[in-house]
Amino acid sequence: MSEVSAVLVIAHRDLVKLLRDRLRIFADFALPLTLVLLLGPTLQAGYGQPGGVEVTTFVFTGVIAQSVWQSASMGIISLIADREEDFSQEIFVSPISRYSIVAGKIIGESLVALPQALAVIVLAVLLGIHLSPLTLILLLPTVLAMAVFGGAFGILVLSNINSQRTANQIFPFVMLPQFFLAGVFNPIHDLPPVLAFLSAISPMRWAVEAVRHVYYGTQSGLVTPELSPIPLVVAVIAGSFLAFIVAGTALFVRSERNR
Applying CB under 8 A, which residues contact other proteins? 1-2, 4-6, 8-10, 12-13, 16-17, 20-21, 84-87, 89-97, 162, 257-259
Q: State the nearest-atom distance from the C-beta of 85 to other proteins, in Å.
A: 7
Q: Comparing C-alpha atoms, which of 231, 183, 237, 187 is closest to residue 205?
A: 183
Closest contact distance (angstroms) between CB of 255 and other proteins is 9
> C-beta of 17: minimal distance to other proteins in Å?
6
Q: Which is nearer to other proteins, 17 or 130 (CB)?
A: 17
Q: What string of H, E and C letters represents the secondary structure of 70-84? A: HHHHHHHHCHHHHCC
| Residue 68 C-beta: closest distance to other proteins, Å | 22
Nearer to other proteins, 162 or 218 (CB): 162
Euclidean distance between CA atoms 158 and 72, whole angstroms? 12
Of 171, 232, 242, 233, nearest to 208 by C-alpha is: 233
CA dist 255 and 66 (Å) reads 28
Closest of 208, 215, 207 to residue 240, by C-alpha? 207
Q: For residue 108, how many other CB atoms are within 10 A of its CB?
A: 26
CB of 147 to other proteins, least distance (A): 20
φ/ψ (deg, to 5) at 65: -70, -45
Using CB atoms within 10 A of its CB, is residue 145 exposed (0-12), middle (13-18) or buried (19+)?
middle
In the complex, what is the shortest distance from the CB of residue 114 to other proteins, in angstroms, rounded to a whole number? 17
Choice between 16 and 238, CB closer to other proteins: 16
Q: Closest CB to other proteins among 6 and 55?
A: 6
- Cβ burial 200-222 (10 Å sphere, 16+ → b, else e): eebbbbbbbbbbbbbbbebbeee
For other proteins, the closer CB: 84 or 226: 84
Q: How far is the CB of 2 from other proteins (least distance, A)?
A: 4
- Helix (H) or strand (E) segment spanning residue 53: none
Of 42 and 94, CB closest to other proteins: 94
All residues at 6 or more sequence positions from 58 whose CB lies less than 8 Å from its CB, including other chains = 40, 185, 225
Nearer to other proteins, 9 or 53 (CB): 9
